[in-house]
Chain A
Amino acid sequence: MNALSIRNLRKTYNNGFEALKGIDLDVAEGDFFALLGPNGAGKSTAIGIISSLVNSTRGQVSIFGHDINTERSKAKCCLGVVPQEVNFNQFDTVKSIVFNQAGYYGIPRKRAIERTEICLKQMDLWEKRDTVSRRLSGGMKRRVMIARAMVHEPKLLILDEPTAGVDIEIRRSMWKMMQALNDNGTTIILTTHYLEEAESLCRNIAIIDQGNIVENTDMAALLARLHVDHFVLDLAEPLLTIPSIEGYQLESITDKVLNVTVPKVIGLNALFNELSRLNIRVSSLKNKSNRLEQLFMDLIDSSSEGNR
């Protein structure tokens, strides 16, 4: 069964702006799915409709087989949403935010207390349970929203840019947490502007632009379309002049760090043979994580050209 199924979803706002132009999308149960797109592409509108915050103009949305219009209550019980911006009462304590949300889902008091504790401990917020939420850091506020979204044990969790504006350490801990939720069977739909985040976490991807789905495939197939890879070489000694090696594009980042563009058909062996011949010693090599970014830009550019 699909966790999410969208058919011919359209949204035209009162000012005439057509945010969604009839999108179709399926997300399989258990998937970790990336929904990407530039600002204003229609991602937030789609998420708003799925989560009953925006009225659609036309089309159908079902969550685990429950239509959001005809079986609204069942559909809502399957869904948890972590919005882009903080939307809880900043004068409430962390515990009351999560506990009250359990109440809105009809969870009895005793079970709500247990679930609140479980979710806050999962998000590493139990020590902060009695803190008034406005006193929390940005990363903690986002974790409160995740705990709140998880309190009724939804089978589908939508995370709308959950790591926007948080530091690298918190971002990585949130990646681990999202991965753990997915490993435990929760279907996750993630929107993000950090493309390496989508690349490393998600198995399937849809790209939305100007109200249309311009790509919907699995991550591996999408990345396989790249003809080149980018690597960063750390050199043992400083390099005075950048060598010219046929088939490869080399550029200097510092005198001891090189950025190399490698066509997939050639591979790396010839590069290392030539570097050895030139007596250039490489101490380490790492893949540059911008593969999805390049594809993303190509897709958005071609979508824009198609609309011109």
Chain B
Amino acid sequence: MNVLIPLRTIIVKEIVRFVRIWPQTLLPPAITTSLYFLIFGKLIGSRLGVIEGASYMDYIVPGIILMSVISHSYANVVSSFYSTKFQRNIEELLVAPVPNWVILAGYISGGVIRGLLVGIVVTLISLFFTEIAVQNIFITLSIALLTAILFALAGFINAILAESFDDISIIPNFVLTPLSYLGGVFYSVGMLPDIWQTISKANPILYMVNTFRFGLIGVTDVNIEFAYLITSGFIVIAVFFSLLMLHKGIGIKN
């Protein structure tokens, strides 16, 4: 069997799903981030000085773009795969000869595509507020892609382990949002007291945001090579864990 056919089927189905409900998936980040740029960037940012040689608006744009990529790649997979489980149409995939890695790759691709699409929308909106001269296109695109993959995988794991709709909102509310806000989106960790700088360095989102910022405006608080290493490491662990759960049927089979 040509496994590219089921893979393409899952990806197309996922894209059709989030495009069909675009007022819930693509429109909200456009509105939210416009408000961020307007309030934090324009109104408050104009009263702040420069951070590491960049205006406050320029400084927060990369973080806000990547925060949107993170939340939407995560949200797409967690809601889609949990709904599939809840409505039991996961059985359509389980009775068919679809390898586990194809199921995983299909859903992750759907999440990555939505995450990056939202990232593009937010980037276009940011152009109304500032000019972006990309410093390193390879770093910008590669870290955005790796971040989207990692958080799509996190959404997949959450969906597999979730037993109710309440469970799929716990991670975004209590883990993802705090880590994103504390991940140096709106400030440089160099502005924090020493103890908080040390604590912040345990936050993986800090590395991704700063690497993306380095790609866009050439400013970073972290070591770029180390950032790639931990992002890739987390991806490898999450892929292994996801495939193991699919193989054992955890959360999807009796």
Contacts and interface: CB of A to CB of B under 8 A. Distances in A.
B254 A81 contact: no
Interface in B1-29: 1-3, 5-6, 8-9, 13, 16
Contacts of A58: none
B124 interface: no
Interface in A84-132: 85, 87-90, 96, 100-101, 103-109
B50 interface: no
Given A52-B95, A72-B97, A106 B6 contact: yes
A130 B3 CA distance: 27
Interface string A27-52: 00000000000000000010010011
Nearest to A149: B95
Contacts, number: 80
A100 B95 CA distance: 13
Interface string B47-89: 0000000000000000000000000000000000001100111
A107 B5 contact: yes
Nearest to B249: A55
A73 interface: yes
B91 A108 contact: no
Contact of B94 (A13, A45, A53, A74): A53
A143 interface: no
A61 interface: no
Contacts of B83: 89
B201 interface: no
Contacts of B91: 51, 53, 83, 87
B88 A85 contact: yes
A10 interface: no
A77 interface: yes
A79 interface: yes
Contacts of A76: 95-97
Most buried by A among B16, B87, B97: B97
A54 interface: yes
A73 B8 CA distance: 18
A141 interface: no
Given A89-B89, A100-B13, A103-B9, A52 B1 contact: no
B92 A100 contact: yes
B6 A51 contact: no
Given A72-B97, A76-B95, A76-B97, 6 more contacts: A54-B254, A89-B83, A101-B96, A104-B97, A104-B98, A107-B5
24 contacts: A45-B254, A53-B253, A54-B253, A55-B254, A74-B97, A76-B96, A85-B88, A87-B88, A88-B92, A89-B87, A89-B89, A90-B87, A103-B5, A103-B6, A103-B8, A104-B98, A105-B1, A105-B97, A106-B2, A106-B6, A106-B97, A107-B5, A108-B5, A152-B96
Interface of B: 1-3, 5-6, 8-9, 13, 16, 83-84, 87-89, 91-98, 249, 253-254
